[in-house]
Structure 1
Amino acid sequence: MRRSPTAGFALVLLLTACQPALNWRESRPAGSGAVAQFPCKPEVAQRQGMGLAQCEAGGSGFALSWADTPDPTQAGAALKAMAQALAGKLGQPLPPPQPLQVPGMTPLPEAAQHRLTGAAGVTRIAVFAHGGRVYQAVMTAPQDDPVAWDSFVTGLRVEPAR
C-alpha cells in the first residue's frame, strides 16, 4: 500500500503534538542542599545564606528558593511567614494547607502546599525545611496545571550534608 506525502506529514504533526512542552530534568542548585526536577535549565543566584533557582517553560514559571534561619527552632515560623508573605503579595488570603512530604525534610506541621488563584492565573507554593534551612517551591501559570505541579513537587528532595 502506498502512502501519500501528506499522510506522512500528518503523522509527523500528530507525533509532535503529543510531545510534552516540559522537559523535566534533575537539578542540584549549588548551595541549596536540595535536588529538584525542573522542566527547564534553572538559573541560580546566591547570596550569603540564601539562594534562588528559577526558570520558565511552557508559559509557566518554576522556582526553588532557600534560606538559612539564624535559629533552627524558628524554621516552622519561617515556613508559615513565607507562605503568608507570598499570599499577601498576590493580594489573597492564604488558603488552607494541603499536606506535603519531601524526602529528607524535617517533619514540621507548617510544611505544606497551597494553591492560590487570581486574575493573573494560578500560583502554587510548597514550603518545607531541613534543620534550620527553609525552602519554598513555587509554580506560576496562566491556568492551573496539576500535572506539572505534581511533577515539580514530587521531584523535590533534601540531600544529607556531605
Structure 2
Amino acid sequence: MRLSLSAGFALMLGLLLSACQPALNWRETRPAGSGAVASFPCKPEVEQRQNSGLAQCEAGGRGFALSWAEAPDATQSGAALKAMAQALATKLGQPLPAAAPLQVAGMTPLPQAAQYRLSGRAGVTRVAVFAYGGRVYQALMTAPEDDAAAWEIFAAGLRIEAAR
C-alpha cells in the first residue's frame, strides 16, 4: 500500500469518510516536542520525557498513538526504524510482515521507513515508522477489526514540521 494522495486531499477525503464513522472526530494536532503534525480522531494525551514523547488517545474502540525519540546517532535512524517495527511484532508474538512503502511529508527518505499490518487474536495493529534526521517516529493504530479507512486518514495526516 502506497500513500500517494496529497495530505490535503487525504485529509478532505478523511473528513468525508468520517461522516460514516461518527465515533471518529478527526482533528489536526501538534504534540508538544514532537516536531510533527498528526490527525487524531480524538484529543490525544501527550507525555514527554527528555528525548522522547508519546501522544495517544482512544476513539470508537480504536487506539491511536504517535511516539518519537532521539536516536543516539542520526546515522542509526534507519536501523532504529527496523528495530522498532521488529520489537512491536515480537511483543505481539508475530513475525514481522512484509513492509509497505510509506511517505510522510518532510521525513528523511530512508528505505526502512515503512508501514506494516499485524493481525492476531487480539485484533489488528497497523504501524508506520519514519524519521526526520536523528528523530525516529512510530505511528500506531490498534483495533479489534481492521479499519483501513481510519488508518489511511491517520497515516495521511502525518507530516514533519521543519522547526522543532
> TM > 0.5 between the two?
yes
**1:28 alignment partner in structure 2:** 30
**Higher RCO structure, 1 or 2 (CA under 8 Å, sep 6+):** 2
Alignment of 1:12-91 (within 5 A): 20-91=22-93
Alignment of 1:3-18 (within 5 A): none
Shift of 1:70: 1.2
TM-score, normalization: structure 1? Answer: 0.88
Alpha-carbon displacement from aligned partner over 1:49-87 (angstroms, at most 9, x marks no partner): 000000000000000000001100000000000000000
Shift of 1:94: 0.3
**1:114 alignment partner in structure 2:** 116
RMSD of equivalent CA atoms: 1.1
**1:132 alignment partner in structure 2:** 134
In structure 2, the gaps of 5 or more residues are 1-18
AA at the equivalent of 1:87:
A
Shift of 1:20: 2.3
For residues 156 and 126 of structure 1, the distance between their equivalents in structure 2, rounded to whole angstroms, comes to 10
Q: Which consecutive aligned stretches of 4+ in structure 1 deviate over 4 angstroms post-superposition?
A: none
For residues 101 and 110 of structure 2, the distance between their equivalents in structure 1, rounded to whole angstroms, comes to 11
Percent identity, aligned pairs only? 79
- Paired residues in the alignment total 146
TM-score, normalization: structure 2? Answer: 0.87
